[in-house]
Amino acid sequence: MDRGDVGRAGSRPMVVRVPVEPVEAAVEADAADAHARAGDVVVRGPVFGVAAQGPGDGPRWRVLSAVTSGCPQQARDGLNSLLWFRAKDDAHDRAERRALLAAVARLEGGRVDELAVAGTRYRIVRAEEYAVTVPGGGMEGPRPTDPEPPVPDWSRVAAGPDVDDGLVLDPDAPVTPAQAVEQLALRGLSYAGGRFPQDVRSDSRQALAGHPDVLLLPPSFTIVERTAGGWTPVNGPHASAHAARRALDFSLTWMWPRLRGLIAYDADLHTDARTVAAAGAAFAGPPAAELAEYAAAADRLRAGGRVNRLEFQGSVYEIARTRRLVRWGPDGPEGPRPSDADTQDPARLHPPLDEDGRVLPDG
């Protein structure tokens, strides 16, 4: 990746506001400390979501589906479902339902990245996901001022905000000095070098001209594993560091034992490494001994407060603070590029509806 020239013409004016409220000031000081010790920017690649702009939104776009999908078609499928359920449950009249179902039909028949329905524009939004290295070769972890629950809830059914819940993309919103520095430093970020295909590099250069500004999305948190080639994402992203820890706890006690044949996949849903370890002699044998190791690792995760690094069976897992930026142009957020690859084709996802919202039988 190439950071390029941050003095590019045609950029939108940036309003910088210095935080004065104590909590905001602490967050800003924390960000300044993080910038001072930051190493390289590590770009994972593009992610995609859905945003909408209504008649009264001005330049703002509301995120309807988290900008976390791995390819554009996954986000298009999310928009397909969103519009289908609106047609089924929320349409005010037949005319609106027909318009929504016409949009669904377009999404089923091709790779549509933008459409308008009843005065609202819907767009597939592209973001670049990245992280920052720190001294010692690791990834930046959660910051002291990142939100944490007063009392950690480790329940598997614990409710919490999802990534990008209620997020509004506002190019005119004031930013703090630390945010301004990061936006300016990344404004010229582009794909460069022979390891990227020519079409990827070309699209990246065109994006700098067509969408010269960047907006930073809220941080997310991803479980990563140290490998010979660096760090590999294991699970995420999550809206908070604790949500990532809870996901790692679930992987250690429930998911990985099933995937690795230590617990039968059709076992009772409440059976996990902890229940087997607690049963003791009733589950004697090699699997029980190994499951006790899984339970002990999960217990270390819970017992250590805000644990952001865990060693288990020769692997090192960390909670990485992952970030995303959206390129912004005169008409709003950037959409998918021609070189962005899809892993699936458009398809019909839901049964047909009649004009009154009733589900019709297939065929």
Instruction: Express each pLDDT in 199-248 by its tens digit.
Output: 999 999 999 999 999 999 999 999 999 887 788 999 999 999 999 999 99
Which phi and psi (to 5°) does residue 248 adopt?
A: -70, -40
Q: Which residues contact 207 (CB under 8 A, 6 or more apart)?
A: 190, 327, 334, 337
Report H helices in the chain.
22-37, 72-85, 94-109, 177-186, 198-210, 241-250, 256-259, 273-279, 286-303
Q: Point out which residues pair with 312 in neighbouring strands.
A: 315
Task: State which amino acid sits at residue 46.
Answer: P
Report H helices in 38-87.
72-85
Q: What tokens does 207 get?
A: 């994006």
Residues of the chain with pLDDT under 70: 1-10, 280-286, 363
What is each CA distance from 191 to 85, 121, 139, 164, 172, in whole angstroms?
A: 38, 29, 21, 26, 27
Query: Is the bond preceding 361 in cis, omega lying within 30 degrees of 0?
Result: no
Task: Give the pLDDT score at 140.
Answer: 94
Task: Give the pLDDT score at 282.
Answer: 58
pTM exceeding 0.85: yes
